[in-house]
Amino acid sequence: MQVKRRQDVKAEKSGEYSIEKLLGKCGSIYKLVIVSAKRALEISEGSPKLVETSPKEKPALIALREISEGKIGMKTKKNKDGAKA
C-alpha cells in the first residue's frame, strides 16, 4: 500500500504537479529549471500559452503545467561521436 504525503494530496487538489512527475518529463532538476525558466520568459514576453490558464496564473506556473502535460519538450545535443551531451 502506498501512503500519500500531505504535500502530494494538497498538490493534487490545487492542480499543481509533483516534482517527481516533472522530473519524469525532463530527467534532472537542472534541465527542469532551465526549460521552465526559458518557457516562463517566453510566456511573459507574449508567447501564446499552450494550456488553459486563469488570468491570475504566473508564467512560471504555466510553464510547469505545460511541461507536465507534455506540451513542450527538449532537444538533446549530440557530440561529434554521436553521444548525448
Where are the domains positioned within the chain?
11-68
Helix locations, the chain, DSSP H: 6-14, 19-26, 29-44, 59-68
pLDDT-derived band at 10 (thresholds 50, 70, 90) equals: very low
Run of H or E residues at 59: helix 59-68
Q: Is the confidence at residue 30, as pLDDT, over 70?
A: yes
More confident residue, 45 or 24: 45
Which tens digit of pLDDT belongs to each residue from 58-79? 999 999 999 988 898 777 667 6
Distance CA 64, CA 47 (A): 15
5-19, 30-44, 46-60, 68-82: lowest mean pLDDT where? 5-19
Q: Which CATH code, of 3.40.50.300, 3.40.50.2000, 3.40.50.2300, 3.90.940.10, is assigned to 11-68? A: 3.90.940.10
Q: Is the confidence at residue 26, as pLDDT, over 70?
A: yes
